Chains A and B, each alone.
Chain A
Amino acid sequence: MSIWEKMTSLPREIVMGLVLIAMIIPAMNPLGLPLFTGDMSRAWYNTVDALPAGSVVLFDVGYGSGGYPSLGPGNIAAFHQMFEKDLKIVMMATALEGSMMYPLVMEGVKPEQNYGAVYGEDYVFLGYIAGGQTAMAGVLGDLKALVSVDYEGTSVDSLSIMDNVNGADDFDLVAYMTTAGGTAEGWVYQAYSQYNADVLGGCLSMMTTSIKPYYDSGQILGIMDGIKGAADLEFLTGHPGDAIVSSDILSFTQALVLIFILIGNVSFWMTRGKGEAS
């Protein structure tokens, strides 16, 4: 067996083991590389930045444990910006685990401690609402006909933030972060098409290409593109966190993937005609 034939069939364990090592090394020794921010993340940041203080944002925590490493840091950075701008945030969850992500995100933002925000006055969490687009349409249509208590069972009538919030017309911005394709397009359907609302969308990087047409046509004003978008938001808002740390890990792992792609292709072409790697 020639060297090229060996190179084209490296054992799975070796490839995966090297990937694991490539994740651990940069996590222990961060490089602190400069960051280029993308257009879509800047558009997200600028949209929020343009809102006057006191504007009300409807925010969907539409992800769970699987999406938290990618979207959680971006969610924290986004909330930092919103609380700094003194915006009011009405949160809900269209994901089953969204209500479990809420305390994790709030632990990272610490709105009371950092911004003097008060629960019920400056922000509220309505909890998980089942039904996907039905839940979105319900909240945007007649919120109080659907929701009467918040996540902890407190009546929404007793929360001052909800005094003038009844539906889509009372939200200045609708934003979401999700791992579900149906949720990503659902908010465009329900908020933009139905009410012409301003919408921001956060999603996993692998979903970005499919919701990009909405961004190009102005239906979504900004996209937080997974871990890359999260790192951009952390940089733009001046709150570095796990996403920027992840940039170094991505440098190592993706460079390794590129090396494997190179090895795979060179060895494929060198062994072509010998019935190898068909």
Chain B
Amino acid sequence: MVSVDPQIWIAAFFTIAATSYAFRDNVVFKFAENTFIGVAAGHTIVMGVKNIRDYGWTHIMQGEMIYSVAFLLGILLYARFHRDYYWLYRYPIAFLVGNGIGISIRAAIHSDFIVQVAATASPLIKSDALGTVNALITFVGVVTSISHFIFTQEKIHEGAIGIVPKIGRWMMLLAFGASFGNTVMSRFGMYQGRIIFLLREWLQII
């Protein structure tokens, strides 16, 4: 028994329309594509306004007038569309960039550098043989893959020492292969959701 719910029918139509591009470009896909961009932009606006209301306007309503500065900066973002006053948008962008960089680099040093180096510098000899082999491979992988990205010393890529960055490249290729294998699963894992929807919700045959 096929579903009689119009919502399911619309969703099924758009699922098939969006899939159709995989086989050939066509006008139905173009319709779906434009619909997608339109609804995505609409949703973004709705969430933006809600965000301003919940995290900005409520504060002003509670008497925290200092939040009006955030409103002013937010409005200045739209100056970028003005021919003469476009430069005003640099103020809020500068604020966002400073905030974004400040928030991320202070922790990136710790997460991506200090902790990773400390993890690599742990003892290589483990309680079992496999553990030791794994620790050695990991250590070699870290050191050699970093050496592959040293471009300021060209000699590291030449002669006998050149084998070090070369091993790094091989290690990375092996890792990228694993990444590719997982990406295949990831994409199928995403699309099967639409297949289950079509068969279960729309056609109701499973």
**A and B assemble together:** yes
Interface residues of A (CB under 8 A from B): 12-13, 16-17, 23-24, 27-28, 66-70, 72, 96-97, 99, 127-130, 132-134, 137, 146-149, 153, 185-186, 188-190, 192-194, 204-206, 208-210, 213-214, 216-219, 225-228, 242, 245-246, 249-250, 253-254, 257
B174-200 contacts to A, CB under 8 A, are 175, 178-179, 182-196, 199
How long is the Cα–Cα vector from A16 to B22 in the complex, in angstroms?
8
Taken together as a complex, chains A and B put the C-alpha atoms of A257 and B181 apart, in Å, by 10
Contact at A249–B51, with CB atoms within 8 Å?
A: no
Question: What are some 20 contacts across the A-B interface (CB < 8 A)?
Answer: A24-B195, A28-B205, A66-B190, A67-B190, A69-B190, A97-B43, A127-B54, A128-B50, A188-B111, A189-B104, A190-B107, A205-B186, A209-B182, A218-B119, A225-B182, A226-B189, A227-B186, A228-B189, A242-B193, A246-B196
Closest chain-B Cβ to A256's Cβ sits at a distance in Å of 10
From A12, A130, A134, A189, give the contact of B108 (CB < 8 A).
A189
**A-B complex: 9 closest residue pairs judged by Cβ atoms:** A69-B193, A227-B189, A189-B107, A193-B107, A217-B119, A206-B183, A205-B186, A206-B186, A205-B182
Stretch at the interface among B27-35, B55-63, B78-86, B153-161: B55-63
Q: Which residues of B contact A253 (CB under 8 A)?
A: 188, 192
Contact with A along B49-77 (1 / 0, CB 8 A): 01100110011001000000000000000
Contact of A249 among B48, B99, B107, B192 (CB under 8 A): B192
B115 located at the interface, meaning its Cβ lies under 8 Å from any Cβ of chain A in the complex: yes
Chain B residues whose C-beta falls within 8 Å of the C-beta of A66 in the assembled complex: 190
Residues of B contacting A97 in the complex (Cβ-Cβ under 8 angstroms): 43
List B residues at the A interface (Cβ < 8 Å). 22-24, 43-44, 47-48, 50-51, 54-55, 58-59, 62, 99-100, 103-104, 106-108, 110-112, 115-116, 118-119, 138, 175, 178-179, 182-196, 199, 205-206
Q: Chain B contact residues: over half helix, strand or loop, or mixed?
A: helix
CA distance A44 to B116 in the complex (A): 21
A134 contacts B99, CB within 8 Å? yes
* CA–CA, A245 and B196, complex, Å: 9
- Other A-B contacts than A137-B103, A242-B196, A250-B192, 16 sampled, CB-CB below 8 A, are A13-B23, A13-B24, A27-B192, A69-B189, A69-B196, A188-B107, A189-B103, A194-B106, A205-B186, A208-B182, A209-B175, A213-B119, A227-B190, A228-B185, A246-B193, A253-B188
Given A206-B179, A227-B185, verify A185-B111 contact (CB < 8 Å).
yes
Known: A137-B103, A192-B111. A69 touches B192 (CB 8 A): yes
Q: Is B103 a contact of A257 with CB atoms below 8 Å?
A: no
Is B191 a contact partner of A69 (Cβ separation < 8 A)? yes
Contacts of A249 in B (CB 8 A): 188, 192, 195
B48 near A130: Cβ-Cβ < 8 Å: yes
